[in-house]
Amino acid sequence: MKVICAGLSKTGTKTMTCALRDLGYNVYDFMENFTYLGDEWRKILTTGGTTEDFRRMFENVDAVSDLPGAYYWDEIHKAFPDSKIVLMMRENEVVWYKSLMNQVKAGQNFIFRLMPYISIAGWQFTSYTALMGPAIWGVEYQSNLFREPELNEMQMRMTYRRHNAYVLQAAPKDKLLVYSVKDGWEPLCKFLGVPVPDKPFPRKNVRGNIVEELMQNDPVFIRIQREIMFSSSLLAVLLSYGLYRSGKFAWYNDWPSTLSRFRGLIPSFYSK
């Protein structure tokens, strides 16, 4: 591990992931942590972990970005004390929370809401992310098919403040860069001791468009969409078969005549 991005979600984590990859680093972002280290993170988020756990998890990784790694930056740094820490920050917490809510709304399309109910991979992903609510943000997160999740703004903003304050206080000053992705290549490359690449600095996940990118390119979300299509088709077949059997049963049991006789009783009932 060479670089720990300690900025929380919506501080430019996807941009940092892309920038570090352009610099040649092997980066574990949110999806890599879920795909390759999901079981380990579930244990850490529920019962805790050790320095050896983090050393084993990231021994072949150059950099980590986004949750849950950003929140556990100190534990990862203890496992890799020579690594450098980049704390990405927004202009202020109001701007940060607004960006966070834009991301939440962008992730509320029908497929995202449906996936934990009819996709095994979708249920695994949703249950994994739900663990971060109480462990990191101090709030419960429950998915709902019919309405958007309600977030505790005060709690979220308090977590953002506490996290940044702790990094600024506890991180070794000679290994810490306080950074905004708006600053571009120069301060980042100088801090990491690498040449500035001959390409524009990346800009990723603008207004939450990472959702569309995941749906198109990420293997986990491609699998989720396939499982949703399969499950939907299977449910349609089962429903059609059930309607067919119900109609057949009704026909053989002379339900039409029974229903007709019942309707004939209604006028006489009201005439009494």
When pLDDT is cut at 50, 70 and 90, the band that residue 148 belongs to is low
Residue 74: pLDDT above 90? yes
When pLDDT is cut at 50, 70 and 90, the band that residue 224 belongs to is confident
pLDDT for 120: 78
Kindly list the distances between the CA atom of residue 131 and the CA atoms of 64, 98, 181, 234, in Å, as whole numbers in the listed order: 19, 23, 28, 30
CATH architecture of 3-229: 3-Layer(aba) Sandwich (3.40)
What are the backbone angles phi and psi of residue 146, rounded to the nearest 5°? -110, -10
Residue 267: pLDDT above 80? no
Contact 69, 163 (CB under 8 A): no
pLDDT for 212: 67
Pick from 198, 199, 197, 177: nearest CA to 188: 177
Which of residues 261 and 26 earns the better pLDDT score? 26
Residue at 189: amino acid letter = C
When pLDDT is cut at 50, 70 and 90, the band that residue 270 belongs to is very low
Which range, of 178-182, 224-228, 266-270, averages the lowest pLDDT? 266-270
Residue 233: pLDDT above 80? no
Which range, of 53-57, 126-130, 186-190, averages the lowest pLDDT? 126-130
User: Two tokens at 94?
Assistant: 């109001």
pLDDT for 101: 87
Residue 250: pLDDT above 80? no
Pick from 208, 105, 96, 205: nearest CA to 158: 96
pLDDT for 223: 75
pLDDT for 238: 63
Predicted confidence (pLDDT) per residue in 200-220, tens digit: 999 886 665 666 676 677 777
d(CA 160, CA 190): 27
Which of residues 158 and 230 earns the better pLDDT score? 158
Contact 16, 88 (CB under 8 A): yes
pLDDT for 269: 42
pLDDT for 231: 64
Q: What percent of the chain has pLDDT over 70?
A: 73
For all residues of the chain together, what is the average pLDDT?
84
